[in-house]
Structure 1
Amino acid sequence: MSKNIYIVRHCQAEGQPPESQLTEEGFKQAEELALFFSHIPVDRIVSSPFLRAIQTVKPLSKEWNISLEVDDRLAERTLSSVDLPDWMEKLEATYEDLDLKFEGGESSRDAMDRIVCVVEEAFKSDAENIIIVTHGNIMSLLLKNYQESFGFEDWKNLRNPDVFLLKRGVVPFRLT
């Protein structure tokens, strides 16, 4: 059995807080995403608990009549609990030093470990085609785990939405 794990970054959203919903364009993107996956027999859908991630995959969940599993480990990484005016530079530094942690935040390694755990569990499951919906920063850390060269500049080039395919023993590749 060939296992396909599709890692999806949520569609365009109104903001960063967990309760931020999709924009009007984001809802259109979610419908297009459902069409994108319409030829793939999806067995399982797992999503971040953030509203924008759930709304991204809701049309697909309805299309395939698959219940949506919510996993807190797919939530976006918190860089810091305090305002960091130079947050972009600080974020870049966390790609070089995976253990770097700011006040109230999570290191890249900690965030990477939790999303990798979700993916490894998916690889061990009976499902053949699994969609995992998450967020840009933690998604980039997952991709870095499987392709070490994936870094800060790659994170900056992610789109909303974005889809990557993970297969055991194969470098992740972008589908969108």
Structure 2
Amino acid sequence: MKQIYLVRHCQATGQESDAPLTPSGKRQAEQLAEFFRDRPIDRILSSPFLRAVDTVTPLAGQRGLSIEQDERLVERVLSAQPMTDWYERLRATFDDLTLQYEGGESSRTAMDRVNLLLAEVLESEHRHILLVSHGCLLALLMKSIDDCIGFAEWEALSNPDVYQLTVADSSRQLHRIWK
């Protein structure tokens, strides 16, 4: 059996790859480390975006674990062009997983990308793995596990947020464990 923790990063100053955590986000990162205090963690993988790495730095330091950065955990790009109606367009990509805007990534492509990583994690010897990423990508990963997850669940994600994926044989159970 494997426990995989899906973690959305703490509150950040923006969406850029180098956007740092806010002062509140830094406190949240400390709270996240405390939240995991009694849970075994063998391995930490993170999006290379600064806000994701900084989210898990206190926990990694507490455990003496390295943070493995993996590009497959970066946020899904909706479009290369600014969109004033991005919210409605994002909603549409949860309904039509193949919908792709100029310079962007379809939901299906993003799901395939992160599921390649998940497959590798499931094949590894580690049993308690923490994946740190971004809201949309995590919502799409969860949708690939449970098709009932969609745009509303993305909207409901907090910064940070934690879901636990338990995998035993071919069974996958997903539930929110963040307070």
User: TM-score by structure 2 length?
Assistant: 0.96
Partner residue in 1 for 2:66: 67
Q: How does 1:70-149 map to 2 (within 5 A)?
A: 70-149=69-148
Partner residue in 1 for 2:38: 39
Q: How does 1:3-14 map to 2 (within 5 A)?
A: 3-14=2-13
Amino acid at match of 2:172: V
> Matches of 1:141 and 1:7 in 2, distance apart?
12
> Runs ≥4 in structure 1, deviation > 2 angstroms?
none
Question: What are the ranges of 5 or more consecutive residues in structure 1 without an aligned counterpart?
Answer: none
Deviations 1:6-48, CA, capped at 9 Å, x for gaps: 0000000000010000000000000010011111221100000
Question: What are the ranges of 5 or more consecutive residues in structure 2 without an aligned counterpart?
Answer: none
Displacement of 1:171 after TM fit? 2.9
Amino acid at match of 1:120: A
Give percent identity, aligned residues only.
48
> Matches of 1:4 and 1:43 in 2, distance apart?
10
Aligned-CA RMSD value: 0.7
Displacement of 1:117 after TM fit? 1.3
Partner residue in 2 for 1:166: 165
> Matches of 1:165 and 1:120 in 2, distance apart?
16
> Matches of 2:144 and 2:40 in 1, distance apart?
27
> Matches of 1:95 and 1:24 in 2, distance apart?
32
Displacement of 1:121 after TM fit? 1.0
User: TM-score by structure 1 length?
Assistant: 0.98
Displacement of 1:130 after TM fit? 0.4
> Matches of 1:164 and 1:116 in 2, distance apart?
16
Q: Does 1:54 align with 2:53?
A: yes
> Matches of 1:33 and 1:115 in 2, distance apart?
23
Aligned pair count reads 175
Partner residue in 1 for 2:14: 15
Amino acid at match of 2:174: P
Amino acid at match of 1:157: A
SS at match of 2:62: helix
Displacement of 1:150 after TM fit? 0.3
